[in-house]
Amino acid sequence: MALTLLSGCGGEPVATPPADTPETTVISQRMTSSVAPPEASPVPTSPAPTSPVPTTTTPAAPPPVVVLDPGHNGANAAHPGDINRSVPAGRGRTKPCNTTGTATNAGYPEHAFAWDVAVRVRDLLTANGVQVVMTRPDDNGVGPCVDRRAAIGNSSGAAAVVSIHADGSTDPSAHGFHVAYSSPPLNEAQGEPALKLATTMRDKLRLAGLPTSTYIGSDGLSPRDDLAGLNLSERPAVLVECGNMRNSTEAAAFSSPEGRQSYAEAIAGGILSYVRAG
């Protein structure tokens, strides 16, 4: 059932340029229909020949920067010494540098899922004029530590920072996504902007047909004070837990390219909606 919903949401035209590009088309159609053709040809005028796309249009503002933070990393498990060392986690606490993440019962790892979805989100955002910074370059490395990931978001001046994860609840019936944000906020960005990013993301995921979590948070939102990346962020930041990798329905969606594309489109839609709202 969830798969049906997922495939049904794949058509959201995230990658389609916004409504400004059809402008020339609309104008030419209006002209051909409302202005009497001088030759009075009864043959419907064919659409204007595909005029060159105005790619040379000068942007009014520099493209927004979005930081994507795919959870964990492919070589973390092989380097326990590196990922277990303590780093600052905000609110005066420390945490391990990073963790291995979870996996489906069939062994599909969270780090691979997070990386694949992040790449898909990156491509969708880039196609929509967003400059994307990733917190790790591939899925073969160690870390970076959670405090380093936050620093990447801070130093890039990101309009939004989005961490991508999937959960590993031991209750196989537990399912659904939630969007975590820092609470209580430690700076201005963690206040209203982060909450706006979280609710916008939640709304887009829900619109895409994805169910909200049955076991964490409320209504798809989870205020947290214990997530280092969110605590240390000086930019609007959220962490999307896409669902439970131990739930068979969600594991199937996470393990398929089509399922991951659906999550990526929903997440990219949430980011674009937030960024464009300014």
Q: Which residue ranges make up the site for Zn ion (CB under 5 A)?
A: 71, 101, 165
Q: Least CB distance from residue 164 to Zn ion, whole Å? A: 9
The residue among 266 and 272 lying less far from Zn ion, judged by its C-beta, is 266
CA proximity to 70, closest of 12, 112, 23, 22: 112
Q: Least CB distance from residue 223 to Zn ion, whole Å? A: 18
The residue among 148 and 196 lying less far from Zn ion, judged by its C-beta, is 148
- Which residues, 6+ apart, have CB-to-CB distance to 130 below 8 Å? 63, 64, 65, 66, 271, 272, 275
The residue among 10 and 168 lying less far from Zn ion, judged by its C-beta, is 168
d(CA 237, CA 153): 9
The residue among 101 and 144 lying less far from Zn ion, judged by its C-beta, is 101
CB contact burial 146-182 (16+ within 10 A = b; e otherwise): bbbbbbbbbebebbbbbbbbbbbbeeeebbbbbbbbb
Look up 188 and say whether it is catalytic. no
H helical segments located in the chain: 2-8, 23-34, 80-84, 110-127, 146-155, 192-207, 228-231, 248-255, 257-277
Catalytic residue among 12, 234, 241, 250: 241
Q: Least CB distance from residue 242 to Zn ion, whole Å? A: 10
d(CA 72, CA 1): 29
d(CA 145, CA 218): 28
Query: Which residues are registered as beta bridge partners of 90?
Result: 93
Residue nearest to Zn ion (CB): 165
Q: Least CB distance from residue 110 to Zn ion, whole Å? A: 5
Question: What is the helix (H) or strand (E) element at residue 166, kind and residue range?
Answer: strand 160-167
The residue among 101 and 229 lying less far from Zn ion, judged by its C-beta, is 101
Q: Least CB distance from residue 232 to Zn ion, whole Å? A: 17
Mind telling me the catalytic residues? 241
